Amino acid sequence: MILAYLCLAGGLFAATSPGSPSYDLKVSIQPSDRLLAVEGGATLPANARSRSKLCFQLAQQMADLKMEIVSPSTLAQVLTPKMLSDNSLGTGNFSADLKSSIPAGVPIAIKFSYHGGHKTAFVFHIGPEGSYADGTDIAWYPQFGAELDHNGKFSVDASAAALGTATYTIPAELDMVASGERSETPGDHEKGTHEYKITHPSSFAFSVDKYHVLRSPGRIPVSLYLKGPRPNEQEMLAGIRRVVDELTSIYGPFPFPEFTLVELSDESLKDAGFGGAGCPGFMLSAASFLDQGFNMAFFGHEIGHQWWGNQITHVSEDDGNDLLDEAMAQYGSLYCVQHLVGDKAADRYRWSGYPGYVTSQCGRNFLRVAAAGLDIPIGRMPQTESGLAHELACEKGFLAYDALRREIGDGAFHSALKAVTSKYAFRSITWAGFKVEVEKATHQNLDWFWNQWFGRAGAPYLDLTWSQHGAEVTGVLVQRAPAYRLKVPVRFEFGDGKSKVIEIASTSVQSPFKFRSEEKAVKAEIDPRFEVLHFTKETEAEGKALAPYTRANWLLFTGHVPEAQKALEACLTSIPSRDPYGLQFYVRFRLAQLAFRAGNYAMAITEGDRAMACSGADPLLKPAFYQLIMTSADKTGDKSRARSAAAAGIAAEKELGQLTSITLSAKQWLASNNKS
């Protein structure tokens, strides 16, 4: 049922800090009915200009919206909002015309009520499988802002950050985690009432379920809210502490009093579009991510959002879109892998992704995206292209930050990051403002760096020619115009089995080098650890050969499934007779996955087998292939094929030196089918 309007007595319309609306929300969550009911009010700070309309964002599924201005009383009026537009993530943009304009300098108080919850959206689900929402990702509460016109398509420039109180009512047998400071009494908890106060501008977020709770006190208390006991609970607690400490060393003090990991059932995430999310003071994680153990890249990224995206928000602008949240969290993820797992793992992360994490977010995939013509400069990413901004931030942006760290030094870069988190704590910063802080820390003009890595699409192309005469090795590092300003490591191997890495400073299309060696040089390799994002002859050829698949795959990523299916099938009509980069393999493997998604398990097996028979099959995808075959064969009743695929998947992961949910699911299947 919809709760009645909240009484206006008390602190509903308390004073708010400049620029931040203050809310008093009464939130009823009934998971069994898939119902979220909200009533309450908000005080909006004074505007610099008069306004004739009120604009806000709210989840599209919310129904029976009632909204009115109640203060100042001379402007009191019932509002009739109309939806201007929506987005693919479930949030709508609304506008309501005002009978009387609100003068500049006058704050207003609004009250509202509505309900929803029947539909899963991005980081939003209400149900017995678990309930959660984060205002940063979906406007489950009204978020007010200015109207924007994108060539006739209207949206609202709203922020999720706010102050105030949310009082949640949930079934008494359930537990919850929410953003803000918990302030209810034990008696309130027994009645299913939970009050949280937000005293620093941040989003309202929550998760509700029946949890197994494990708490660990310390300088930063850490808690686990799990679906049930796990054998690796202590490992998770220790891993989280290590990540928090490592990120604190580069970002500054942890911004919240404590940190909580919340497990979500995979069932509740089925249509939610994410596997992990960083909310103010806690993170949400799919159960399947936790099944594989402590994944350093995953936790490094999501905990990094405690600073970048929660403590620090990026002003709504195209400049640097997603670079001060997603890219920075991904940089912290890489930093944790490098310092807590090791150089070898970090090298792999940069090039081909981290096992068990989002393996498309890496340098190799960016080069394929760029070669397919899908890339644009990451320093100016249109907000209308949110999916592209997110991916490029996590494919190129984090590597650009890593390059900046090497260019100006760890101390200077991390001092700049700490300056930002201190100066702009619980505030917004522009991309230009961030660059100013970095240059203050280095006492140098870095326009050249911003221009080449953030103002240009693509990546440098590098080639090498060299020869040895006697004890002198000479050569030229070649770029394409316009040249980047780079420091490129090159490893030489010698006849005695030893090796040597030299660094070539390159600012032009040809950069000569020389060094002396009494031993015969037998091989040279450009940037063996992939510390500099770049194309070579081989990776450029691969990217161009796979471009039809990459473009089709992007259609799939952006939700255009029928169009992606047609594009993939069209690729099969033009496979070259010589296919060294595995175009047919990638196409057939993706078709196998689409068949599986559609429930056509026999076709999934057929296309999967065809894929692995192709030339150029990607060894990194062998475990995923065996998992697909195992699950499809199990669905069709072919236990023998499923058993052999499970064993092969375990062996393939072992060969790659990784342990992910693929191995765990295979072992679980074998254990539950050992008698059949």
Rounded to whole angstroms, the Cα distance separating 538 from 371 reads: 12
Which helix (H) or strand (E) segment holds residue 39: the answer is: strand 35-44
pLDDT at 6: 27
Rounded to whole angstroms, the Cα distance separating 359 from 345 reads: 13
Give which of 590, 604, 599 is closest to 553, Cα–Cα: 590
Q: Crossing angle of helices 326-336/233-251, nearest 10°?
A: 110
Q: Are strands 77-79 and 63-71 parallel, antiparallel or unpaired?
A: antiparallel
Rounded to whole angstroms, the Cα distance separating 369 from 396 reads: 10
Give me 646's structure tokens: 């499970």
- Higher per-residue confidence, 16 vs 519: 519
Q: Is the pLDDT of residue 579 over 50?
A: yes
pLDDT at 208: 98
Residue pLDDT, tens place only, 146-161: 887 767 677 788 888 9
Give me 427's structure tokens: 């505030």
Q: Which one-letter DSSP state was computed for residue 519?
A: S
Please state, rounded to an integer, the average pLDDT across all residues of the chain: 92
Are the C-beta atoms of 282 and 259 separated by less than 8 Å? yes
Q: Is the pLDDT of residue 4 over 60?
A: no
Q: In the chain, what percentage of residues exceed pLDDT 90?
A: 81
Q: Where are the beta strands (DSSP E) in 74-217?
A: 77-79, 82-86, 91-102, 108-116, 124-125, 131-134, 143-150, 153-158, 162-169, 175-178, 181-182, 193-202, 205-209, 212-216
Q: Residue range 613-617: average pLDDT?
A: 91
pLDDT at 28: 98
Give which of 71, 78, 79, 66 is closest to 40, Cα–Cα: 66
| Confidence grade of residue 163 (pLDDT, cut at 50, 70, 90) | very high
Q: DSSP of 438-461, one letter per residue? A: HHHHHTS--HHHHHHHHSSSS--B
Q: Is the pLDDT of residue 306 over 90?
A: yes
- In sequence order, which ranges of 501-620 are alpha helices (DSSP H)? 537-545, 547-557, 561-571, 583-597, 601-612
| Confidence grade of residue 292 (pLDDT, cut at 50, 70, 90) | confident
pLDDT at 675: 59
Residue pLDDT, tens place only, 345-390: 999 999 999 998 988 999 999 999 999 999 999 999 887 787 889 9
pLDDT at 8: 27
| Confidence grade of residue 85 (pLDDT, cut at 50, 70, 90) | confident
pLDDT at 88: 67
Q: Residue range 101-105: average pLDDT?
A: 89
- Higher per-residue confidence, 48 vs 36: 36
pLDDT at 100: 86
Q: Is the pLDDT of residue 584 over 60?
A: yes
Are the C-beta atoms of 103 and 60 separated by less than 8 Å? no
Torsion on CA atoms 68, 72, 75, 76, rounded to nearest 10: 30
Residue pLDDT, tens place only, 404-454: 999 999 999 999 999 999 999 999 999 999 999 999 988 999 999 999 999
pLDDT at 1: 29
Q: Please report, as a single letter, which amino acid is at residue 58.
A: L
Domains of the chain: 1-207 (2.60.40.1730), 316-452 (1.10.390.10), 463-532 (2.60.40), 543-672 (1.25.40.10)
Give me 19's structure tokens: 């620029």
Q: Is the pLDDT of residue 492 over 90?
A: yes
Q: Is the pLDDT of residue 631 over 90?
A: yes
Q: Residue range 558-569: average pLDDT?
A: 93
pTM, two decimal places? 0.90
How far are the Cα atoms of 182, 192, 225, 258, 265 from residue 211, in angstroms, in the given order? Answer: 17, 14, 5, 18, 11
Q: Residue range 467-480: average pLDDT?
A: 97
Kindly report which listed range (15-24, 580-589, 663-672) carries the lowest average pLDDT score. Answer: 15-24
Residue pLDDT, tens place only, 177-214: 999 999 877 677 778 899 999 999 999 999 999 999 99
